[in-house]
Amino acid sequence: MGKEIKIIIADDNRNICQMLQSHLQGQEGLSIVGVGYNGLEALELIQTQEPDLVILDLVMPNLDGLGVLERINARTTMKRPKIIILTAFGQESLTHQAMTLGVDYFILKPFDLDILSKRIHSLTQDTVATQPQFSSSAAQSVTSAVASEHNLFAEVTKVMHQIGIPAHVKGYQYIREAIIMVVEDVSLLGAVTKELYPGIAKKYDTASPRVERGIRHAIELAWERGHTDTLKQIFGYSLNIDRQKPTNSEFIALLADKFRVMGMVS
């Protein structure tokens, strides 16, 4: 058995910390060596435990995720762990700042625990490139591994049919385009309203607000008329299917992440 991957979890939401700790501690090769509920606790744990990877929330008391990243970057003699940022929709400016500070991957809340586990393993493999996973070039290399653009298009279409999104609504095309764009460049999740919607709007000769409304309408139809069992199977731990619909960004992010994971299987 190889060396265990040492992980620190930092999030002020204790329920999320408990969920992550419970899930990851049971994974072979993973070891949770500390849990912090604010940025200062996280920084102290990083200094004392020297983890291989940190799961870091962007918004925390005392010192936020950006502050933690800045202090890690300032300590050139300290071993730098891989960083996975947890972010919520609506934090686009923070996500962009996190990118410039050298984050290895970011994942949108709510998230799929199994996908997070795969990300942790892929980021901590010795053979994994040091290029950040959210960068355009890294995302493009992932896309090529998916097989081909045509196959990706077909797979996305297949999943949308399974979910129950009606093909005749405009949001159907917008969602498919959004998922493919995010698979190719995951940094678009940090610029949904500024880049993703305008990019789709340009392709379909419409306006960004119409893209946003079309996607929202298609998701609502899927939740009203779709197959609950299929939705639970696809979204897994991510959502309480019976009680909540995902936001546009959550829906796109969760599906795009699944296709990126498929592409990373060698």
Domain boundary residue, one of 134, 167, 189: 134
pLDDT of residue 129: 39
Asked if 152 and 234 sit in the same domain, the reply is yes
Domain boundary residue, one of 87, 105, 134: 134
Residue with tokens 């929709």: 89
Mean pLDDT confidence for 40-52: 93
Asked if 238 and 120 sit in the same domain, the reply is no
Q: Give me the percent of the chain exceeding a pLDDT of 70.
A: 79
Asked if 125 and 182 sit in the same domain, the reply is no
Asked if 83 and 167 sit in the same domain, the reply is no
Phi and psi for 35 in degrees, rounded to 5? -130, 125
Q: How many distinct structural domains can be found in the chain? A: 2
Smallest CA-to-CA distance from 180 within 194, 164, 159 is with 159
Asked if 201 and 164 sit in the same domain, the reply is yes
Is the pLDDT score of 146 beyond 50? no
261 vs 36, 157, 214, CA distance in Å?
28, 17, 27
Mean pLDDT confidence for 198-213: 92
111 vs 86, 166, 238, 249, CA distance in Å?
9, 25, 5, 12
For every residue of 169-181, DSSP letters joined together read: SHHHHHHHHHHHH
Smallest CA-to-CA distance from 118 within 247, 261, 230, 228 is with 261
pTM: predicted TM-score of the whole model, two decimal places:
0.54
Domain of 257, in residue numbers: 141-264
The encoded tokens of residue 176 equal 């498919």
Q: Give me the percent of the chain exceeding a pLDDT of 90.
A: 29
Asked if 79 and 194 sit in the same domain, the reply is no
pLDDT of residue 2: 59
CATH code of residue 28: 3.40.50.2300
CATH code of residue 220: 1.10.10.10
E strand spans, the chain: 5-10, 30-36, 53-57, 82-87, 105-108
Q: How confident is the model at residue 265 (pLDDT cuts 50, 70, 90)?
A: very low
